[in-house]
Structure formats: structure tokens, C-alpha cells
Chain A
Amino acid sequence: MPRKTYVAAIQEALAEEMRRDPRVFLIGEDVRIGVFPSTRGLHAEFGDKRVIDTPISELAVAGAGIGAAVTGLRPIVDLMFGTFLYLAFDQIANQAGAMRYMYGGQTKAPLVFMVQNGAGSSAGHHHSQAVHQFFMNMPQIKVILPSTPYDGKGLLKSAIRDDNPVLFLHSLALGGKRGDVPADEYLIPIGAADIKRAGNDVTICAVGPTVYTALSAAKTLAARGVEAEVIDLRSLSPWDKATVLESVAKTGRFVAVDESFPVCSAASEWCATVAEAAFHHLRAPVQRVANKDVPMPFSPVLEKAVLPSVADVIEAVNKTLV
């Protein structure tokens, strides 16, 4: 199987879907040159009409994507960094995130918002926040955050074909990661988790970069005879409750690892669900591992201290074992 980087896999998904469906186009700031390599090279193949550079106007670009979607196109709106979604919040939260419902099912907005999510490059608060939790809070937007090249490609293709608004998050921290990506076409359904490691003692649920944090912790724990089951959720909204609950029924212990501000984080939601639906299987209180509850600092030392670490995960698992 060919090995590809995470960004190359995303680029391949964009190219394949644009070839397949002439209604699919890419719009955003510097998507031609590609601030992130994931959009690089697409302009050469698809031209000005389908790879559209815009002024720096996130609100208008997001809204234009919505307008194009409700009139029959399938835009991919690239807003670069997750934090720039804040400038487009009205269009996403008030419009895309409600319009089908609000208009009684008359319309649909099949578009993808694409941004890099989270920290890892010491870029300070304005460029290093994970934002997925805000959008999980919205009832009518799907949110996905793949951790591998394989998932990145398969999930992005599903997102582009989905008839609902989808927020596709990718991670700069994972950009150079390589993995197997089949040459033949495949799709990964939105909402399906992937069990990365089987284990009977504790369920660790993670997404995006924290999957690797969880796997490292699991390795250390295994040396001590504690077998963790590591679940990569891949999709944050909707998310695969069945897989998680089934795992907790087996292990009786639950640790959620999530790179976001801890209050109302993805981890909060996972923990609440497990506490509600699997209470009688739990042998210990559920544990949340998220960022420290502070803005993102610039210094590499401080950034590292704020993000969920392997030690944090091990400590949380230890709490479930007493």
C-alpha cells in the first residue's frame, strides 16, 4: 500500500472529489499557493474557477460558501486556522448551523469548512487553539478530526459527499505523519470510531493528536500490566457512543483525552455520556484530561505544559485503578 503524509492524503481527497463532482470547488485565502500544503497543486489541475483565492474576509467567505451550497453547489471553504472561524461565527452558528431546521426542511447546505485545529507550533493564542468543542455544541454541524492519513482521506471524502454542513479539522502537528493510504477509492463513514488498541482494563477515548498521547500512555501502562483500550473517535459530532459504551461495559473505567479548553470540552461530553449510560459498569469515576484551563501560551515550554501529556493520561488512569 502506498505510504502518504497526512497532508498529502487530504490533498488527494480534495483532488479526487473535485474530479468526481464538478459542483465541488475550493474557496479561501491563498488556497492556490496553499498556506497548508493540503491545497497545493489543485489550482494547476482545476483552474481559477474551482480554486478561488479570496480577500481576507472570513465572514463573507463562509457566508458565500453557504449561499453557494443552498443554491446547488458543494463548496469547500478553507479558513486556514481554527481561530479564524471565530470571525465567521455568525454565518456558521446562526445560518449554516440551523437553516435546514429553521426553514422546515426546505433547504440543505452541503458544504465543508476546513481549518487547522490546535497547538504544536508555538504560535501563541491566536493561532494555537483547538476549536472543535465550540462546534460540537451546535446541533446541525458535523465535526470531524482525523488522526491518520488514511482517516484524513476517507473522512474528508465522506464530508464532501455529505448533504449537511461539516467542519473538517486537520492538525498541523500531524501534517508530516505518514501512513498507509490505499490506491483504490474508499470512504470512512462520519460517526464511526476506530479502536486503535484493544485492552480490558481501562477505556481511553481520544481524537486527533491526543490519540498518540493516549497510545504512548497505553504502552507505558502495558509494561505495568494495565491493558488500555484506546479509541480514536475520529468524528466528534456525531460521535460513536456505541463503541465507547461497549468498551466501558468491558473495562469499567473511562478516561477522556482531549486537546481543548477543559470546560465544556469534547471530553466533558464523552464523560457525561459514559456517566449517564454506563454508570452501572463503572468501577471508578470517569476522568477528563484536557488542556489546562488557560489561554494558549507562546513559549514552547509553557505550550507543552498546557497540552494534555502522557503523564497526565497515566495519572488519570491511575485514579481509575484505585
Chain B
Amino acid sequence: MHHQDIAVDVVVDIYTRILRIRRFEEEVARLFRQGQLPGFVHLYIGEEAVAAGVCAALTDEDTIISTHRGHGHVIAKGGDIKRMMAELFGKSTGYCKGKGGSMHIADFDIGMLGAIGIVGGGIPIAVGAGLSAWYTNSDRVSVCFFGDGAANEGSFHESLNLASALTLPVVFVCENNQYGEFTPAAKAMNIEHIADRAVGYGIPGVVANGVDALEMYRVASAAVRRARGGGGPTLIEAKTHRRGSHAEGEEAFLGGQTYRDEAETAAAQAKDPLLLLHTYVGENNILPQNQLEALDAQITIAVQEAVDAARNSPEPAVETVFEDLWL
């Protein structure tokens, strides 16, 4: 990795975001295995470099939209892990007061416009956020995260075209982890690079190494600059991989069947975005080992505090089913 031009504090910032996502999700995986979390949980482990690199290129005013695999996006945008954890437990102190859950976390105060459980459901909304920035002459940029699978939904195609036709400040970030559930992307589309689809909409399409957080930062920064400057949308395809299951507990869905071979999984795991950046940080003397360890310890404690707080929080009161309905 050759990123010596990226400032040290930016590297540390990105590293911190990745580590926070990783430690949070490792804990979520444990909690799910112990049967402590209701509903479906989709983990982002292995893909953290995308959210961390992209969100580091954004201002607090810029907005993002996320997917069913959304914890990483919320954390990378600066979300509060306490309120996230409480939401995963379905507690009243969660981001959505227990009404949203893992697939529907939002924090409108930090420009996180929501995680969406419908594949491709967020892409048009991101265009709308870009539309409102353009309409109000704001220099806000709208970023949309979605998967390779989502790139086969009609919403993807309509949205890219619409954003292009109206020259809106939107950055489309396709997280190509090479699978949609159990179907390889290679079987769901006849092209190697989803970024090539950009040609059809007359916008730039960029392929990026999605496990290299600093490359993600660099590519995203360019796309954000272009969008902010009135140049219109960009499609970024981040080549990445998911470390684990499509959804936690997927063994139950699979019933003994497999869909990716061990060699492939092992090769993917070797490309760990956290490890990669950790090595970079060490080799370039960006932070001394003891400070890295202190950071890790601090994040681990914060995650544990979030779990304790979530456990000790009250269930939502039954009457709250009627709240937050009308204004």
C-alpha cells in the first residue's frame, strides 16, 4: 500500500472507525450465538474498509444510506454504539426505541438516513437526498451503500440514470462482496465489474480495492469532490468479501449445504482490512504499539459498556406501539 500522502491523523481516524466496527460486531456475533438477540443479524466483518474509508471522506453534513448489513455504516458515520446495541436488543433506549432492529438503524442527527432491509430500497432515497442538496444550493453530498446483489434491482438502474440526468451530488458505493445470500455475483450477472454499468448512465465508474481502507478514502474523496463541485454522480465498486455468514446462524438455513469452498473463504480471510491497515500503521510508525493496544482496549470496554447498558435497559412499553405514528 502506498498512501504516504494521506495525513497521519486521517489514517488514525480510519483505523479507529474500522476497529470500532470490528469489536462491536465480534460482540454482536457472540450475543447472537448465545441467543440474546432477536431477529436477523447481518455482519459486516471483512468489509469495514469500505464504510470507514468512504465516511472519512465525508463531512458531518453529508448523508449516507445503508442496507440490511448496516452496522458498519452507522459506526463509520459516527453513530453511538450504545444506542445501536440497545436497538439490537430491541430495547427502549435503542436508536429507534426498539422499533427498527438490526436492519433499520438510523441516526438523522449525524446524516445517517437509515438502514433498509429491502435490497436496493435505499438507492432511490439517496438520489432524493442529493436532489435536496441541489435544490437548496447546499454543498452536501449524498452517499449510498448497497451490495452487488442490489445492483440487479430495477431501483439501481433507475436511480443511477436519474441522478445522472439531473447531475445530482450522489456517490453510489457498491460493496461487491461477491455474493447475494448464497448466490455468487458471477452467476447473477455476466460482467466482471459492476462499475462498468456506469457507462450506460454516462457517469464515471471506478473499481476500488475494498479491503484497502486508504484506497477507499482516496477514491471516495475524489468522487465526493466531484459531486460537491457540481460534477454529478459517481459509481464506485469496492471489491470486498464478507468474512462470515450472509446472516448469523445461516447454518440453519443451509441445512448442511455449502455454497462457497473453503479455499475461497480462506483466501478472502487472508485479506483482512483491519490487519492490512494495522500493518501499514505499524510499518509507517503512525502510532506506537502501546497506543494501538490502548485504543483497542478502550473500544473493547466501550462495547462491553454498550452491552451492559442494553441488557439493563427496559423493554419498550406496550403503549409505545402507537407512538411515532402521526405528527
Contacts and interface: CB of A to CB of B under 8 A. Distances in A.
A301 B318 contact: yes
A313 interface: no
Contacts of B117: 123-127
Interface in B303-327: 315-316, 318, 320-322, 325
Contacts of A60: 154
Interface residues of B, number: 44
Contact of B183 (A29, A121, A297, A298): A29
B149 interface: yes
Interface in B219-240: none
Given A56-B152, A124-B39, A297-B98, A33 B259 contact: yes
Contacts of A126: 103-104, 116-118, 121
B181 A124 contact: no
A49 B257 CA distance: 20
A53 B184 CA distance: 10
Contact of B253 (A33, A125, A127): A33
A53 B249 CA distance: 22
Contact of B39 (A37, A86, A298): A298
A306 B152 contact: no
A306 B245 CA distance: 31
A122 interface: yes
A127 B318 CA distance: 21
B118 A84 contact: yes
Contacts of B153: 56-58, 87
B38 interface: yes
B90 interface: yes
Interface string A1-42: 000000000000000000000000000011011110100100
Interface string B96-124: 10111111100000000000111111000
A299 B181 contact: no
A79 to B, nearest CB: 12
Contacts of A139: none
B63 to A, nearest CB: 20
B187 A53 contact: yes
B188 A124 contact: no
Nearest to B185: A55
Interface residues of A, number: 38
Nearest to B324: A294
Given A30-B181, A37-B255, A298-B90, A56 B118 contact: no
B103 A123 contact: yes
Contacts of A98: none
B154 A125 contact: no
Contacts of A34: 253, 255
B98 A302 contact: yes
B266 interface: no
Contacts of A297: 98-99, 316, 321
B165 interface: no
Contact of B101 (A37, A83, A123, A305): A123
B316 to A, nearest CB: 5
A294 B100 contact: no
A300 interface: yes
B315 to A, nearest CB: 5
A92 B190 CA distance: 27
B104 A124 contact: yes
Contacts of A125: 104, 117
A59 interface: yes
The 10 closest A-B pairs by CB, nearest first: A298-B101, A126-B117, A299-B90, A299-B98, A55-B152, A122-B38, A55-B188, A297-B99, A122-B39, A56-B149
Given A124-B117, A298-B101, 16 more contacts: A29-B183, A30-B182, A33-B182, A33-B259, A35-B181, A35-B182, A40-B255, A55-B149, A55-B180, A57-B154, A124-B101, A124-B103, A125-B104, A297-B316, A298-B90, A302-B321
